[in-house]
Amino acid sequence: MALKLTKKQKRLMDFLEDFQNNHEYSPSYREIAAGLGLRSVASVAEHIDNLVQLGFLKRNAGSARSLEIVDLTFPETTALFKQRLQYASDSDHDILMQAAEILGLDLGS
């Protein structure tokens, strides 16, 4: 089974990529909400939290505008997956393992 983003997650990821390419920094949560036509900054935060947990985004805690899209082609991706697996819930662990398999990452045993 392939790991897929929901339509909303995909829209958010596309918005982030476009914004970062045009501005060379990350948007605020309010800018994301406005750009996606969302009323709630809390829903933006929830989507971002999920994408961070799944390993598609990373951020620096306590730092504004620090969202980074994880490039899954870099060698650091394997290390990131291993780190996420250590703290993942059972359901997130299964999703991460499926994603690693799809990406061809060797996570060892």
pLDDT confidence tier of residue 106, bands split at 50, 70 and 90: confident
9-69: what fold?
Answer: Arc Repressor Mutant, subunit A (1.10.10)
Distance of CA 45 to the CA centre of its chain: 12
pLDDT digits (tens, 9 = 90+) for 2-49: 457 788 888 999 999 999 999 999 999 999 999 999 999 999 999 999
The first and second tokens of residue 4, run together, are 């897929």
pLDDT digits (tens, 9 = 90+) for 58-102: 988 888 888 998 876 666 777 888 888 888 888 888 888 888 877
Residue 84's nearest CA partner among 93, 73, 76 is: 93
Backbone angles phi, psi at 79, to 5 degrees: -65, -40
Backbone angles phi, psi at 84, to 5 degrees: -65, -35
Q: Is the dihedral of CA 79, 83, 85, 89 positive or negative?
A: negative
Domain boundaries, the chain: 9-69, 71-109
